[in-house]
């Protein structure tokens, strides 16, 4: 039965992953999540049911629009596959439990944030507020009011710590060193992972982002700025790296105290 439920969670994850891609792209732009329905961005061909099956539609169509032959980005099936794998892994790690609900809620929020921050350089407040409320309720159900209060305190401390880091960075670099969305995201991290793990996620995210940043510097050199909003033309949002790091910590279930003990020897 475990294999059956794992497959069900995988399929469920791919379907939601496809939807999260739409949410992450449209929500920061203030667009409707339902209208217009999914369509080809080149010829506006409305996608039929057979063209909306996660992963398989891409394979059956050969990675091209059925109507005009426009190439479909490989990112879509990869994102759907990753979503399905994350949902399946969550079930294998946590089983049927309240912690599974916490994991799926958290991962869902992170997937949307990866898309939205990458595409638009915006982490929607709506996602942060809704996910925080759901997580707090789920933690309260699983750990009682004391656990929920402790999680809330961890979220506030994580937020304040990141805010202090930002102010120090602004002072040292004489410019905006960190986006407000990244700071608010730390509240969700603290709520779910705890204070220590949320801070650890920043360092892991920086480690993951470093080679990407080096590549962009080597490829683009000094970046030109877009006049309207002063965002670098080839900028790298930090939110997706924070989201990836937090998911790794959530699913790996690393004991932070074990890391402290290891470094002290």
> What pLDDT is recorded for position 180?
85
The backbone region for 123, taken as left when phi is positive above 0, alpha when psi lies in -120 to 50, beta otherwise, is beta
Across-strand partners of 46?
39
> What pLDDT is recorded for position 226?
42
Q: Which residues of 32-53 are buried (b: 16+ CB within 10 A; e: fewer)?
A: eeeeeeeebeeeebebeeebee
> What pLDDT is recorded for position 34?
79
Is the whole-model pTM more than 0.75? Answer: yes
- The per-residue pLDDT string of the chain (265 residues; one tens digit each, 9 = 90 and over) reads 789 999 999 999 999 999 999 999 999 888 888 777 777 766 777 877 777 888 988 888 888 877 777 888 899 999 999 999 999 999 999 999 999 999 999 999 999 999 999 888 899 999 999 999 999 999 999 999 999 999 999 999 999 999 998 888 887 777 776 778 899 999 999 999 999 999 999 999 989 988 887 777 676 665 544 444 444 555 678 899 999 999 999 998 655 445 445 444 5
The full set of domain ranges for the chain reads: 1-96, 98-265
* Closest alpha carbon to 154 in 188, 103, 201: 188
> What pLDDT is recorded for position 261?
52
> What pLDDT is recorded for position 222?
54
DSSP codes, 85-102: HHHHHHHHHH-SSHHHHH
> What pLDDT is recorded for position 5?
94
> What pLDDT is recorded for position 230?
47
């Amino acid at each position: 039965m475990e294999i059956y439920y794992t497959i069900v969670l995988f399929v469920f994850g791919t379907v939601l992953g496809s939807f999260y891609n739409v949410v992450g792209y449209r929500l920061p732009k203030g667009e409707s999540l339902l209208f217009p329905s999914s369509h080809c961005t080149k010829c506006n061909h409305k996608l039929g049911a057979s063209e909306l099956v996660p992963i398989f539609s891409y394979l059956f169509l050969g990675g091209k629009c059925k109507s005009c032959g426009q190439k479909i980005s490989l990112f879509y099936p990869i994102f759907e596959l990753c979503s399905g794998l994350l949902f399946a892994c969550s079930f294998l790690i946590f089983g049927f439990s309240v912690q599974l609900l916490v994991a799926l809620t958290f991962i869902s929020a992170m997937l949307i944030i990866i898309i939205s921050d990458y595409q638009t350089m915006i982490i929607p407040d709506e996602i942060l507020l809704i996910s925080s409320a759901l997580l707090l309720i789920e933690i309260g159900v699983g750990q009682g009011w004391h656990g929920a209060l402790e999680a809330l305190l961890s979220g506030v401390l994580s937020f304040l710590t990141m805010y202090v880091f930002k102010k120090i960075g602004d002072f040292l670099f004489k410019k905006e060193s960190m986006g407000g969305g990244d700071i608010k995201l730390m509240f969700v991290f603290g709520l779910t992972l705890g204070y220590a793990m949320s801070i650890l996620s920043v360092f892991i995210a920086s480690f993951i982002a470093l080679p990407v940043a080096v590549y962009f510097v080597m490829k683009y050199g000094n970046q030109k700025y877009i006049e309207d909003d002063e965002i670098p033309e080839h900028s790298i949002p930090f939110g997706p790296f924070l989201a990836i790091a937090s998911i790794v910590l959530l699913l790996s279930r690393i004991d932070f105290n074990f890391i402290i003990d290891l470094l002290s020897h």
